[in-house]
Amino acid sequence: MAEVPPSTYNSTPFTKLESSEARNSATVAISSGRPINLHGLKGPELFGGVYMSCDRLAAWRAGAPEPIRWIVISRHGIPDWAREGEVRSSGVPFRTPDAEAQIVAARQGLGITTLPCFVGDADPLLVRVPGTDLHIYGTLWLLTQRETSKTKRVRLFTELVSRRLAAYAPLLAGLSPRKGRET
């Protein structure tokens, strides 16, 4: 995957490590892109899929005539990669203000939506839409300032988080078992 320009990367501040001296602090972030001005430790790849409620899928398979709508966060549209699959959608997308409302709408059977696999696969009320493929969102990176990346506390912390992320790689890639739920 190509590097993402600094202006377009997506990161979540993970923690701020501080020592007794105020000038010795470091922020560690998890990001799906690696800006060139930060030190990065490469993590696992993050995949997403198309999900709907288990009840809505059962109703669709039983021939329920209601149209299935897309559920999207208000500023996002329907990704091109997600338009495939056995379940066809129709109508105007149902727009939600944030990811939490998006998940609740999917659980309630309002339609289908894209979610990271670690979110959709872990939710017992959701199931992947049959016939859809997974999509790679990107590689996760642990990021910090170059100057602080070599300090012992930052190095130990990022190595610990890196090992934990590696342990969750199957879940992040959509490869973890989904007991009792066939699509």
Helix (H, G, I), strand (E, B) or coil at 156: helix
Task: Mark whether 87 and 141 lie in a shared domain.
Answer: no
Identify whether 120 is part of a domain.
yes
Domain region containing 88 = 47-135
Number of structural domains, the chain? 2
**pLDDT tens digit sequence for 153-162:** 888 888 999 9
Task: Mark whether 37 and 52 lie in a shared domain.
Answer: no
Question: 111 vs 92, 114, 133, CA distance in Å?
Answer: 11, 11, 18
Identify whether 53 is part of a domain.
yes
User: Among 3, 4, 11, which Cα is nearest to 143's?
Assistant: 11
Task: Mark whether 125 and 52 lie in a shared domain.
Answer: yes
Identify whether 183 is part of a domain.
no
pLDDT at 179: 52
**pLDDT tens digit sequence for 117-128:** 999 999 999 999
Residue 164 has pLDDT above 50, yes or no: yes
- Is residue 149 within 8 A of residue 39, CB to CB? The reply is yes
What's the CATH number where 125 sits? Answer: 3.40.190.10
pLDDT at 170: 94
